[in-house]
């Protein structure tokens, strides 16, 4: 039976359950990320679990949120995060390296893998064909210890893109238009999967912008295919070996379909 891209990745990582909307499923997690506003509690929970090393393929601890050093509190947290990373085999991204979801996209995200992050904009990596979900610190700690992540099987909405962005219109206008149509609750319980001929006109940074703000829709996550644009991005990052082509099968079914002509968009501004 033809599968959409979301179903393909979930099926490849499925530990328990059936891929039926509304059913509880458990999936294996390949990568995790934390940042310093959420990481301290997550790593204390990991220590309490009692495993000697993380059991994910890759886990990264970023310091990018609490950067002010007006007291000892942030500095103490950052020293702890560095020490716990060294102890458990976690990559440590120092202050100044960059924002977690952006650095993750550039240096670590892999098409077809799963990412669980203690940051609401973890779905940014969906711009590279990764199933990337934001979660609480305890969920991330359990994933680092090798436990599966439990979630309700989401509905999958195809956003079929056509046309090309006009001058002065950006990828952010795409997601703002979806927010205008669907509201901030429109993505709840859904994965927003992007497809159609318009996808090929968008670079990975543009796709990542759209996937990043899927969080504002309330979506479980957002995802784009992995194609020649993805390959070009990974080649520029010196990570061509991480590329693999990924897309929905021809004839795959979706729970909903939204048509969006990129050429019809105008620059948009969000109001309170």
pLDDT of 211-251, one tens digit each?
999 999 999 999 999 999 999 999 999 999 999 999 999 99
pLDDT tier at 272 (50, 70, 90 boundaries)?
confident
Average pLDDT in the 157-178 region?
98
Cβ atoms of residues 152 and 22 within 8 Å: yes
Q: Above pLDDT 90, what percent of the chain?
A: 94
pTM: 0.96
Cβ atoms of residues 36 and 62 within 8 Å: yes
Is the predicted pLDDT of residue 71 greater than 90, yes or no? Answer: no
Cβ atoms of residues 205 and 172 within 8 Å: no
**Domains of the chain, residue spans:** 5-152, 155-264
Cβ atoms of residues 124 and 208 within 8 Å: yes
Q: How far is CA 232 from the centre of its chain?
A: 20
Fold classified for 5-152? Aconitase; domain 3 (3.30.499)
Cβ atoms of residues 81 and 92 within 8 Å: yes
Position 271 scores a pLDDT of 84
Tokens of 28: 């294996």
pLDDT tens, 37-49?
999 999 999 999 9
Which is it for the CA torsion 212, 216, 221, 227, positive or negative? negative
Q: Average pLDDT over the chain, rounded to whole?
A: 96
Which residue blocks in 14-88 are alpha helix, DSSP H? 39-49, 72-88
Sequence-distant (≥ 6) Cβ neighbours of residue 83 within 8 angstroms: none
pLDDT tier at 67 (50, 70, 90 boundaries)?
confident
Tokens of 115: 């990412």
pLDDT tier at 70 (50, 70, 90 boundaries)?
confident
CATH class of the domain at 155-264:
alpha beta
Which residue blocks in 132-170 are alpha helix, DSSP H? 137-144
Listed residue (5, 2, 11) closest to 245, CA to CA: 5
Angle between helix 204-212 and 100-107 (nearest 10): 140
pLDDT tens, 116-140?
999 999 999 999 999 999 999 999 9
Position 44 scores a pLDDT of 97
Query: How far apart (Å, rounded) are the C-alpha atoms in residues 85 and 99?
Result: 18
pLDDT tens, 95-123?
999 999 999 999 999 999 999 999 999 99
Position 194 scores a pLDDT of 98
Are both 5-152 and 155-264 of the same fold? no
């Amino acid at each position: 039976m033809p599968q959409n891209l979301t179903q393909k990745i979930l099926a490849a990582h499925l530990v328990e359950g059936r891929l039926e909307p509304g059913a509880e499923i458990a999936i294996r997690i390949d990568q995790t990320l934390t940042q310093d506003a959420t990481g301290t509690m997550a790593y204390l929970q990991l220590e309490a679990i009692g495993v000697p090393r993380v059991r994910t393929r890759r886990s990264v601890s970023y310091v990018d949120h609490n950067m002010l050093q007006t007291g000892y509190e942030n500095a103490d947290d950052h020293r702890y995060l560095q020490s716990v990373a060294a102890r458990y085999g976690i990559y440590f991204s120092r202050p100044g390296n960059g924002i977690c979801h952006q650095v993750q996209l550039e240096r670590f995200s892999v098409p077809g893998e799963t990412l669980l992050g203690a940051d609401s904009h973890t779905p940014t990596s969906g711009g590279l064909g990764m199933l990337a979900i934001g979660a609480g610190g305890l969920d991330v700690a359990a994933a680092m210890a090798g436990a599966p992540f439990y979630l309700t099987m989401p509905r999958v909405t195809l956003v079929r893109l056509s046309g090309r962005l006009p001058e002065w219109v950006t990828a952010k206008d795409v997601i703002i238009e979806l927010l205008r149509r669907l509201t901030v609750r429109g993505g709840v319980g859904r994965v927003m999967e992007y497809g159609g001929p318009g996808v090929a006109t968008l670079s990975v940074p543009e796709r990542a912008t759209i996937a990043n703000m899927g969080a504002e829709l309330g979506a479980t996550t957002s995802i784009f295919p992995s194609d020649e644009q993805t390959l070009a991005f990974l080649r520029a990052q010196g990570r061509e070996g991480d590329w693999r082509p990924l897309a929905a099968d021809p004839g795959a079914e979706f729970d909903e379909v939204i048509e969006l002509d990129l050429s019809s968009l105008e620059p948009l501004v969000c109001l309170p």
